Structure 1
Amino acid sequence: MPPTDPRAPSDPLREYQQRLAQRHATHASLDAEDLRLARLRLLVFGAAAILAALAWSGTLSPWWLAGPVAAFAALAVRHDRVLRARTAAARAIRYYERGLARLEDRWAGTGEAGERFIDDAHLFANDLDLFGHGSLFELLSIARTQAGEAMLASWLVTPAGAAEIRARQVATDELRGRHDLREALALAGTELRSVLNAESLVAWAEGAPVLRHAWTRAAAVVLTALALGTGALWLATGDATPFFIVLALEVLLFVPMRAALQHALHAAEGPARDLDVLAHALRLLEAERFQSPLLSSLRATLETASVPASVVIGRMQRLVELHAWQHNQFFGPIGAVVLWGTHLAWAIERWRSAHGASVRHWLKTVAEFEALQSLAAYRYEHPADCLPVILDAAAGPVLEGVDLGHPLIPESRSVRNSVHLGGVHPDEGPHLLVVSGSNMSGKSTLLRTVGVNVVLAFAGAPVRATSLRLTPLALGATLRVQDSLQDGRSRFYAEIARLRQLADVALQQPPLLFLLDELFHGTNSHDRAVGAAGVLRSLLARGAIGFVTTHDLALTAVATELAPRAANVHFEDRLEDGDIVFDYRMKPGPVTHSNAIALMRAVGLDVPGA
């Protein structure tokens, strides 16, 4: 692991406050300059109007207008730059305001919630609040492009391999102190999000060739040379016949191709604008030099034959600009004679053939940088969180967390607990913890805490813990299994269907980590006890490890039956002055009492004593 970046300040809150103050000052200064330039432009316009009236009356020469016109044009250019800079400053203000909101635990609802990534069929995403309002995705994501958001979302729902996790950890260590790059990439991403249509850009870049007969390209070169030569001959001798013969050949050959040529030219206009915006983000990355292997390899993908991607994109931009010359009334006739549009159409087709496949990779590279920057920002903003240690799979399924906390719960209200599951030998740790306790005591929160930290670990992010050691694991949960009116499924049927999926996953590698909440609570006590024991025994036999919660004291006997592979733990509560108080601390052994009746009375239900 490389040393910590010395540029990373120790106080994220102070760093963001200072940067926010600087951006506010910049915005205020640009506001003032905007007002000055607007007044100057109005003054110059007024002066030009007066001079124009005097020139019209013959009092002054029209040449007097040259100065005000030039001054107005220069002011317009300067004003445009100021307005762009002010827009960037406003975006930077919003960027750091959201950063402060994350640090102050008031971030929910301030960012992209990732609702489009919600998948009810996923084995753990809904159960662990990965997407939606106040979700893990909203806390993590500073990506501004849709591709960057999709990349981060895929990292959360698809665990990475051990080597990739370590590579991301090293990369985020290098990135976490690079605030200027992170800010610039976020601002460029905002522009990309508002302008770029990634799907249509990739479709154009990778589309089938529009011009199919290569010999017409050579014919165009020959005819252009002949047109220039015969035109010179016409000027020198006055004989126009050869020139018009060449023009006739051009018409015969290329008028039938006009539709294809126009399609090749006009189809490139929109993608060229998208590429120009993309090039801004790529130039930011091309200007950086990285030490970590992952960042260096991503940086290397931005070059084609040692030519930076932004330069390659610039060539396409110039081709589209040259095409615009055809619309000039003076150059248009010349362009028609020399087959200007034909040559440009072929040049665009050559660009697509040489670089079209790279566009998808450029977009993917920007997306991956955005995802890494999201993890790097989270790592910078939570310096007390630790990096998990990914153990070799030969250690057996292992999950060992010390002082685990839930990252979506403010630290001031978070109660941490330690867990230890698995190992090669049974005496190293149980493979199953049966978590009992009364309602609202913290059982489900424990499962979500474990699950979210495992998701973070396998995404390459730091975890909310003093330490976390784990082997590669597949994850599955039943914390938020729901019925479906559309599919005609009850909650119980949805639960057993999910359990069947988890049983199938448990037959594969890596081993399954299951998080089962209130198993079979929709059926009677006898069936629940028999079914739970059978399911848990089957999962353990398939090499899985995990947790099951219950407030049914009868189910705690399952741990005794499956010992030493299983153990009981519990959360408890107590009555203080008529109120139920929870400490949310996990303790060994089964719970010994229930608070259901007390809770009913607490909300005003008329429930008799036992």
Structure 2
Amino acid sequence: MPVSAAVRSLSIAPADVFTENLTVHTDQEKHFAGRHQLGGWLRVLLFGLGAAGAWGLFTNGQIGAGIGFLAAVWLAFWLLVRWHSRMHYQREHHRLLAQLNQEELRRLSGQLSGFDGGLRYLDAQHAYAADLDVFGAQSLFQLLNRATTRLGHDWLAGWLLAPAAAPEVVARQQAAAELAPETSWRQEWQARARHFPHQQADPRAFSTWLARPDYFADKPWLKPMLVLLPLLLLAAIGAGVLGLGYRSVAFVVLAISLFNGRFGAIRAEYGEQALAMRDALRATQAQLAWFEDDTEQDWQAPRLRELRARLRTASHGTAATVRLGRLATVAGMFSVREHPLALLLTNSLLLWDLHAMWQLERWKRHLGPELTTVLEVQAELEALVSLAGFQFANPAYAVPTLSPEPLEVTAEALGHPLIFSAGRTTNDFHTAGYGRTGVITGSNMSGKSTFLRTVGLNMVLALAGGVVCARRLHLSPARVYSAMRTQDNLAESTSSFYAELKRLRLLLELTAGPAAAGAPTTPPEFPVFYLLDEILKGTNSRDRHRGARALIRQLHRRPASGLISTHDLELAAMADELPGAVTNYSFNSVIEGDRILFDYHLTPGVCGSFNASKLMQLMGIDLEDDHEA
């Protein structure tokens, strides 16, 4: 295994760590692939030698020696199969570890196209997810997510979709900070679950299904029949061997078939549920064994210690991984359903499905009620590993600090986390208090919308417990709200202008409440920080100016603050009407010949340069033909 990043020099770049790990694990994969291939040939050779030796001994009348020889060969073959399986696991494990480091290198270079975008979590009506690229192509979820399990994905998505209270943010930060330098530990956690790829089913649904009443509870006669019928079949076969005829065998097989048919629907239901969850349970068991049994890791972060304690409490003194291993084994009993011939034989002779159902019901009585707790511990660890992996990969990012002041955002060298160029432009920004609006004017393509997304994405990251793309960020808990990408909807006969009005109405509803001079009588836990891009752009300029000014006045009296970008210089005049509450900022450009140069720096004051006419000329529009110019 590569040396843990915890003992590396802090000067070593994450890319160098991942590159070295990739080389080491690729070499190890090749090493174990060679041993695995050798094991295959040894099995063939041992089988051939065993068959030849047994044949020679038996044909020479050495029956005792032949039996002893076969027993020795069988033992050697069994040991060889176990060794061969370990070589297969090690080969696959190092392949997965190499894959993880390759993925980290791709993230560092901004190549996110192959990662899960989490589109299943994207709700067009959400307060900010669609506007800020939280999910989808080239999204924050792709950059952040290191989870492997279905529930881990859900947990991380939930953190990105809603802000956490200050104590919760701090708890996540502490846990992620302790996990961040433990690169080998984190990647081992990830790789263990990747051995089991079929994890699409929601384990919470399985846990709910397990909570149903015991199927055998009101059928006391059923359990004895599971033993009696196979014994009757065995007795019938014995009678046939003794020359008493095989008619009784046919009768018993018919009885077993009718018995199986009577419970066909419930057998299928249990089998479907168990098989859908088999890989997820095995992945959970493998990961939690690494967290629960690793005596070398004495976690100090309160949240990590709390999660370990919750595991022990839920398991009633027995390791949770032991109980999960038993459940995975029981679920695996239904795997015979994947092989029709084996299913026919085992159920016709042994009532296999019903025995598996019985074992599953027995397991429910031991850990069934606590399974949800165990799954939630795993899911939270998956989300924390994601935050920690992101933190390790970006050592220059800052751990945000939380402000007790309402709606404070103080940022130094704030950048967009989804812009990966070496020359990424950063900006400083500050606002604090209720009823504050920053009006950002600027020319086309100057960076207004990108800056709004920069502020919003970093706030989402900070309030999920992650590090942020900044030298420093000090903020108070807030609910981010954006209106930036409103579109028409033909199915609902909704124009883009009406869609934007609906977004603004929701903003007003979120910020509604008794207030005086912008200060609420009862401060909300999460006041709103809004990001509005070119508001009311779908109507004429007169109505747009009037509506935008009215909206700013309303928001000024509510527990909300935020940023509004616009091309309309008329809105900048609001700074004179509401001094101290409205502040002007701008992004500017310079025209040199046929080139338009942008510096993408946030500047105090109103924009003094615009480039729309030049852009139109560059696109071939001859403004000299405009006789009104």
| TM tier relative to shorter chain | 0.7 to 0.9
Query: In 2, are the aligned partners of 1:20 and 1:97 still within 8 Å (CA)?
Result: yes
Match of residue 486 from structure 1: 491
Per the TM alignment, residue 56 of structure 1 is displaced from its structure 2 partner at its CA by: 8.0
Q: What CA deviation, in whole Å up to 9, does each residue of 1:567-597 have, x standing for no partner?
A: 1111111112420010001111111232111
Q: What CA deviation, in whole Å up to 9, does each residue of 1:181-202 have, x standing for no partner?
A: 2112111222344257334532
Match of residue 401 from structure 1: 411
Query: In 2, are the aligned partners of 1:447 and 1:515 still within 8 Å (CA)?
Result: yes
Match of residue 538 from structure 1: 554
1:581 matches 2:581: no
Match of residue 130 from structure 2: 126
1:439 matches 2:444: yes
Aligned length: 567
Change (3 A) 1:318 1:565: closer
Residue range with higher mean Cα deviation, 447-456 or 343-352: 343-352
Residue range with higher mean Cα deviation, 312-321 or 36-45: 312-321
Q: Which amino acid aligns with 1:409?
A: I
Match of residue 381 from structure 1: 393
Match of residue 471 from structure 2: 466
Residue range with higher mean Cα deviation, 7-16 or 105-114: 7-16
Per the TM alignment, residue 492 of structure 1 is displaced from its structure 2 partner at its CA by: 0.5
Query: In 2, are the aligned partners of 1:560 and 1:567 still within 8 Å (CA)?
Result: no
Match of residue 117 from structure 1: 121
Match of residue 410 from structure 1: 420
Q: What CA deviation, in whole Å up to 9, does each residue of 1:355-396 have, x standing for no partner?
A: 21221222211111010010011111111111111112xx23
Residue range with higher mean Cα deviation, 306-315 or 267-276: 267-276
Change (3 A) 1:565 1:312: same
1:275 matches 2:281: yes
5 Å matches for 1:290-305?
290-303=299-312, 304-305=315-316
Change (3 A) 1:520 1:274: closer
1:28 matches 2:30: yes
Query: In 2, are the aligned partners of 1:476 and 1:502 still within 8 Å (CA)?
Result: yes
Change (3 A) 1:441 1:41: same
5 Å matches for 1:200-215?
201-213=206-218
Change (3 A) 1:549 1:212: same
5 Å matches for 1:46-195?
46-48=48-50, 50-51=52-53, 54=56, 62-63=66-67, 68-103=73-108, 105-195=109-199
Q: 2:611 aligns with which of 595, 599, 602?
A: 595
Per the TM alignment, residue 301 of structure 1 is displaced from its structure 2 partner at its CA by: 1.7
Q: Which amino acid aligns with 1:367?
A: A
Q: Output the TM-score relative to the length of structure 2.
A: 0.81
Query: In 2, are the aligned partners of 1:201 and 1:274 still within 8 Å (CA)?
Result: no
Q: What CA deviation, in whole Å up to 9, does each residue of 1:482-503 have, x standing for no partner?
A: 1111111111001111001011
Q: Which amino acid aligns with 1:175?
A: L
Query: In 1, are the aligned partners of 2:113 and 2:137 still within 8 Å (CA)?
Result: yes
Per the TM alignment, residue 205 of structure 1 is displaced from its structure 2 partner at its CA by: 2.1
The gaps in structure 2 that reach 5 residues or longer are 232-254, 337-341, 514-523
Alpha-carbon distance in structure 2 between the residues aligned to 1:333 and 1:129: 55
Change (3 A) 1:8 1:499: farther
Change (3 A) 1:484 1:210: same
Change (3 A) 1:492 1:367: same
Aligned-partner SS, 1:301: helix
5 Å matches for 1:38-53?
38-48=40-50, 50-51=52-53
Alpha-carbon distance in structure 1 between the residues aligned to 2:348 and 2:568: 88
Q: Which amino acid aligns with 1:116?
A: R
Per the TM alignment, residue 70 of structure 1 is displaced from its structure 2 partner at its CA by: 4.4
Aligned-partner SS, 1:468: strand
Query: In 1, are the aligned partners of 2:278 and 2:332 still within 8 Å (CA)?
Result: no
Per the TM alignment, residue 563 of structure 1 is displaced from its structure 2 partner at its CA by: 1.9
Per the TM alignment, residue 37 of structure 1 is displaced from its structure 2 partner at its CA by: 2.1
Query: In 2, are the aligned partners of 1:167 and 1:294 still within 8 Å (CA)?
Result: yes
Change (3 A) 1:409 1:274: closer
Aligned-partner SS, 1:433: strand
Change (3 A) 1:520 1:75: same
Match of residue 317 from structure 2: 306
5 Å matches for 1:323-338?
none
Query: In 1, are the aligned partners of 2:549 and 2:574 still within 8 Å (CA)?
Result: yes
Per the TM alignment, residue 269 of structure 1 is displaced from its structure 2 partner at its CA by: 5.7
Query: In 2, are the aligned partners of 1:397 and 1:544 still within 8 Å (CA)?
Result: yes
Query: In 2, are the aligned partners of 1:113 and 1:135 still within 8 Å (CA)?
Result: yes
Residue range with higher mean Cα deviation, 368-377 or 411-420: 411-420
Q: Output the TM-score relative to the length of structure 1.
A: 0.83
Alpha-carbon distance in structure 2 between the residues aligned to 1:566 and 1:186: 48
Match of residue 244 from structure 1: none
Alpha-carbon distance in structure 1 between the residues aligned to 2:111 and 2:493: 37
The gaps in structure 1 that reach 5 residues or longer are 228-250, 425-429
Query: In 2, are the aligned partners of 1:143 and 1:186 still within 8 Å (CA)?
Result: yes
Alpha-carbon distance in structure 2 between the residues aligned to 1:212 and 1:256: 19
Aligned-partner SS, 1:22: helix
Change (3 A) 1:268 1:540: closer
Supply the RMSD in Å over aligned alpha carbons: 3.7
Per the TM alignment, residue 511 of structure 1 is displaced from its structure 2 partner at its CA by: 1.9
Change (3 A) 1:290 1:557: same
Per the TM alignment, residue 335 of structure 1 is displaced from its structure 2 partner at its CA by: 9.6
Query: In 2, are the aligned partners of 1:205 and 1:359 still within 8 Å (CA)?
Result: no
Change (3 A) 1:406 1:333: closer
Query: In 1, are the aligned partners of 2:6 and 2:183 still within 8 Å (CA)?
Result: no
